[in-house]
Amino acid sequence: MSKVEAALSPWRESDVSVKVLSGLFSVLPQAPPFRLYGNLEGAISRLGGEAAGDDSVGRARELAASAEAEKALWVAENLDKADAGLAVYAGLKNVLSFFGGGRSKRTFESDPQQAGDAGLKLLGLAYMASQLFPGRSPQQRFEAVMALPAGQEALYYFAVAEVGLPFADNLVEGGTRVLGRIVGLARGDAGRKLSQFGGGNMLNEALGSLDGFAGPLASYLDGARGVVGNLPRMAARVMPSALNLADSATGAAASALDALPVWSFLGPRLIAEACASRAIAGE
């Protein structure tokens, strides 16, 4: 079993991360229908490739076992590990902060740590795309990610949880301006952090894909701006049952959920579907 399938297999419908993310995606108007799977056959099925046969499954497994797929997985998993890896904050807490229908007012200027983390997450996505779709232009890599249901999940989660919720005040400026500032952070402090953990080659490969994300991702941020105001109602309806909490999340509970492995869930799905799509296409 490849590391990618090993990362897919443990997840269950009862897991808190799965419940929270499926609840979030259920209220995002353009998000794809959520579907949980634990292997590459499930990824192929989600892409409608059941008729492709055993050859596609075998090829998908070859791609999933490649060094490139494992590098992408390493980045995805480390985006969740505050004290042992890359990340310093989890976007899931931004979702849970809406239990009470309110949020603390934050901007890029007042919370530079969170802003820098958004830049790091963007850089991580760009790096994953560089590994999953080699030989393509930055724009083509973004289009390939966007064509996958798991890619859309990752992009919507980034736009809503990592940027839209914490920085709704900044988002009033518009997705293009906000994304420009995040890209600047990705090229600066976030880039230095990635280089520190992954080396200069990893940073260069991530930066090589970043330009392809800069324009199209602005539309996701504009969409997040329109959705953020509805999330308190969504949280009241979906989150309490998901977390088995009566009325609201206490500060202690929300802090504990910082450590939930959101990108360790989203990342392997993106990798699996990228491998599946290439196998179906005969690459």
Q: What's the pLDDT score for residue 236?
A: 55
Q: What's the pLDDT score for residue 253?
A: 38
CA–CA gap between residue 275 and residue 273 (Å, rounded): 5
Q: What is the DSSP string of 65-78?
A: TSHHHHHHHHHHHH
CA–CA gap between residue 23 and residue 222 (Å, rounded): 21
Q: What's the pLDDT score for residue 188?
A: 82
CB 115, CB 182: distance < 8 Å: yes
CB 80, CB 120: distance < 8 Å: no
Per-residue pLDDT of the chain in tens (283 residues, 90 and over written 9) = 899 999 999 999 888 778 778 878 887 878 899 999 999 999 999 998 766 666 889 999 999 999 999 999 999 988 877 555 566 555 566 555 554 444 555 666 666 777 888 888 888 999 999 999 999 999 999 999 999 999 999 999 888 888 887 787 777 777 778 888 888 888 887 778 777 777 778 888 888 888 887 778 888 888 887 777 666 565 556 555 544 443 333 333 344 344 467 899 999 999 999 999 999 998 8
Q: What's the pLDDT score for residue 21?
A: 84
Would you say the pTM of this structure is higher than 0.75? yes
Q: How far is CA 241 from CA 35, 154, 229, 235, 269, in A?
A: 19, 23, 21, 10, 25
Which pLDDT tens digit goes with each residue over 36-60? 999 999 999 999 876 666 688 999 9
CA geometry: angle at 57 spanning 54 and 59, to 5°?
110
Phi, psi values for residue 191, rounded to 5°: -65, -40
Domain boundaries, the chain: 3-280
Q: What's the pLDDT score for residue 243?
A: 47
CA–CA gap between residue 128 and residue 122 (Å, rounded): 10
Amino acid at 49: G
